A and B are shown apart, each in its own frame.
Chain A
């Protein structure tokens, strides 16, 4: 594939090819809609490149194979969807404790339980807060376009090794299944030196071990402090977000992932109607851009969170706003994405209920 050429490509295939470009050496996975195309694509490409493709016997096996592979310093990933990612939570807790650069792609579908294959955004909590035991933090990147599926896959592999921390690429069924023109370009990130820790055989050096457990209480306590200190560095260096027309805005629409494009379109419609709306979109859901949201709230801006779940990111926005301004929620649990028309009319309803205080230019 010519790297500079624009191609019309599905989000799932884009993620798969970007992983190959990023130096993916081992893929372990188990099929589940709506992300099965990732494994399908890699089953064709990886063997031809002399790299490993394994269709594991279960999701549990797949994620643990990734833990094993990345501990040797190679780049490895698994991809799955919501209910099957739930099965992987134990391994993610271990990967954080072991400081292993696991890359996991979650193309979300509806839950809870088996749910169904409709797109949804109900794994915000599962990704950001996790379902594993103990205190741990994962880096979570949320793409909104097929191009970003490529860009953030490159970034995921880099960040995972740079910080020795698991990274989740959190996409959704809509993004996985849709096609859009995108360009692979070159993986823009440098190689990461893993020689100081990777388990590569103890020839001519002392043996190493990677483990998360310490029978020494002091060491265990220190280990957790170290992990959180590391995440403070990640927060400082890697927190990223996008904002549009927030400067003069009274209300800021907030969304993550592919809902971002719907709030941007809604913003344009609402501005034409004289309501000063801006948009804010976290790119890293973890570390979450609390500081910037807090700044915007200090300037008196209200927030409306638009998401395809029962209000998961909503809680983080409220936490960041600290009651300084109002935070509302426009949502649906799963299925057909909230349309621009629905978002616009819901925002107008909220504005009317507030006594038209915002419609200053009308």
Chain B
């Protein structure tokens, strides 16, 4: 089993961090994983993305032409990556900023108001964690418990006080549906 994910959004939405937490969750669950960012002359407010590949065996290639899952937090990322989802794959979109359209018939769509849900928890800063929670509700291999462990691993002891809020953010979509 090898699956890949693209996570994309505005710079500042916590896209690379979400990818790092997702990749850590895979590592902690004993899988092989790679994380690869788009890198270049990016600036705040521009779009940013990273690609995560998870595999039971050795990860084949780190950067692929198409993706099994796309998690997109803004409209530009939706427009760009909806074209790169494999036939039969799924795009998971933040409907707070993305219009609910279905430009292709051969892929699945999941829309969730990630930004609104984050605001209801008190801060838009947890949009990325809400987004990972939505992803977990759609994809078997993504697990909220391991995501919480991934969060702890990435944020370390210093930010331990943020764990409760971020756990809530991970679970908010699952509790909604």
Contacts and interface: CB of A to CB of B under 8 A. Distances in A.
A261 B55 CA distance: 13
8 contacts: A8-B27, A173-B39, A178-B34, A179-B35, A264-B60, A265-B60, A337-B62, A339-B65
Nearest to A339: B65
Given A6-B27, A178-B34, A179-B35, A261 B61 contact: yes
Contact of A180 (B35, B37, B65): B35
Interface in B2-44: 20, 23-24, 27, 32-37, 39-40
B39 to A, nearest CB: 5
Nearest to B36: A178
A113 B36 CA distance: 26
B60 A337 contact: no
Given A181-B27, A339-B64, 20 more contacts: A8-B35, A34-B39, A117-B39, A174-B63, A178-B37, A179-B20, A179-B23, A179-B35, A180-B33, A180-B59, A261-B58, A261-B62, A262-B61, A265-B60, A265-B61, A268-B60, A337-B61, A339-B63, A339-B65, A340-B61
A6 B150 CA distance: 13
B33 to A, nearest CB: 7
Contact of A177 (B20, B39, B59): B39
Given A178-B34, A264-B58, A8 B63 contact: no
Contacts, number: 61
Interface of B: 20, 23-24, 27, 32-37, 39-40, 58-65, 153
Interface string A163-202: 0000000000110011111000000000000000000000
Most chain B Cβ neighbours within 10 Å, of A180, A265, A337, A340: A180
B32 A261 contact: no
Given A8-B20, A8-B27, A177 B36 contact: yes
Interface in A253-299: 258, 261-262, 264-265, 268
Nearest to B25: A8
Contacts of A262: 60-61
A232 interface: no
Contacts of A264: 58, 60
A258 B62 CA distance: 9
A336 interface: yes
Contacts of B58: 261, 264
A339 B20 contact: no
A336 B62 CA distance: 10
B63 A337 contact: yes
Contacts of A8: 20, 23-24, 27, 33, 35, 153
